[in-house]
């Protein structure tokens, strides 16, 4: 069997209704995993793509506005892959940023991520099973950005928690890593791509000379969940066309 195969594995992908989450869910299914697609909105499009590719998937409604919403979903369900992709962003100048916008983003992007990982790891440890966690970080896990204070804080936190959890769980056979996507062609970046000047400035900074595709992130997620990455622990892997190297 290929070291990149996920045959016999079962994954939960959060925020799987569109964009990166959808691409990752499809990629895992194409690699052989059974994929449960979680979202606060309908995931039928993602399930249709998985079915068309000959994969196996199911849907699950989860709204991480409640950071503890996933605490009971892993027991006895056979999951051994967790992709924490769900996230939100709020924009305002730091001097005007509201407590509500701070709390909402931190709850979804950081608190929910940690307690979902905790519930997942507890179940694997009880079962004595190995597994893999992939957290979706950001270029703003390394950079400051502007007008997104809670998002930047949360994504720095994701990078730190990824390393912390890897330190504690690597010896138990649980690989914990993160992907930091660069500028990816999704609905969330459509406004940037439609702004001629902003689009050109972004492309000029990317050594690869193009926006990333969701599939670029999906392939990396498949790798990090596979036996090929068995000795990869605590990495925050930037998939950015060379943005951070520039």
Q: Three-state SS for 5? A: coil
Is residue 60 in some structural domain?
Answer: yes
pLDDT digits (tens, 9 = 90+) for 54-76: 999 999 999 999 999 999 999 99
Q: What is the mean pLDDT of residues 93-117?
A: 98
Q: What are phi and psi of 237, to 5 degrees?
A: -95, 110
User: What is the phi-psi region of residue 19: left when phi exceeds 0, alpha when psi lies from -120 to 50, beta otherwise?
Assistant: left
Domain count, the chain: 1
Is residue 5 in some structural domain?
Answer: no
- 19-30 and 44-52 helices cross at what angle (nearest 10)? 30
Is residue 185 in some structural domain?
Answer: yes
Q: Tell me the whole-structure pTM to 2 decimals.
A: 0.97
User: What is the pLDDT, as a whole number, of residue 91?
Assistant: 93
Q: What is the mean pLDDT of residues 192-204?
A: 93
Whether residue 92 is predicted with pLDDT greater than 90 in this model: the reply is yes
Domain, as residue range, for 46: 10-239
> At 97, which CATH number?
3.40.50.720
User: Which tokens is 171 given?
Assistant: 């010896």
Q: How far apart are CA 235 and CA 233, in angstroms?
A: 6
Q: Which of 151, 183, 223, 231 is catalytic?
A: 151
Is residue 15 in some structural domain?
Answer: yes
Q: Are 134 and 177 in contact (CB under 8 A)?
A: yes
Residue 151 bears catalytic tag: yes
Whether residue 22 is predicted with pLDDT greater than 90 in this model: the reply is yes
With CA atoms as reference, report the closest residue to 33 among 234, 233, 223: 223
Is residue 102 in some structural domain?
Answer: yes
Which residue matches tokens 């936190």?
Answer: 157
pLDDT digits (tens, 9 = 90+) for 30-39: 999 999 999 9
Buried b / exposed e over 192-211, threshold 16 CB at 10 Å, is eeeeeeebeebeeebeeeeb
Residue partners of 96: CB distance under 8 A and separation at least 6: none
Is residue 85 in some structural domain?
Answer: yes
User: Which tokens is 227 given?
Assistant: 């036996």
């Amino acid at each position: 069997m290929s070291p990149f195969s996920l045959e016999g594995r079962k994954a939960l992908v959060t925020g799987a209704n569109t964009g990166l989450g959808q691409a990752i869910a499809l990629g895992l299914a194409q690699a052989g995993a059974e994929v449960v697609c979680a979202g606060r909105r309908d995931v039928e499009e993602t399930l249709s793509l998985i079915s068309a590719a000959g994969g196996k998937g199911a849907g699950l409604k989860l709204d991480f506005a409640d950071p503890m919403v996933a605490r009971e979903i892993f027991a006895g369900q056979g999951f051994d892959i967790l992709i924490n992709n769900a996230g939100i962003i709020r924009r305002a100048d730091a001097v005007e940023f509201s407590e509500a916008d701070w709390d909402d983003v931190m709850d979804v992007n950081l608190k929910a991520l940690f307690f979902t990982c905790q519930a997942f790891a507890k179940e694997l440890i009880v079962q004595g099973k190995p597994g893999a966690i992939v957290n979706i970080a950001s270029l703003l896990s390394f950079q400051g950005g502007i007008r997104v204070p809670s998002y930047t804080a949360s994504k720095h936190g994701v990078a730190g928690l990824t390393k912390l959890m890897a330190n504690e769980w690597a010896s138990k056979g649980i690989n914990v890593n993160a992907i930091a996507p660069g500028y990816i062609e999704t609905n969330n970046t459509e406004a940037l791509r439609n702004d001629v000047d902003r689009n050109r400035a972004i492309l000029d900074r990317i050594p690869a000379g193009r926006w990333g595709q969701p599939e670029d992130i999906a392939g990396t997620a498949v790798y990090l969940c596979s036996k090929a990455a068995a000795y990869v622990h605590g990495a925050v892997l930037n998939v950015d066309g060379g943005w951070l190297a520039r």
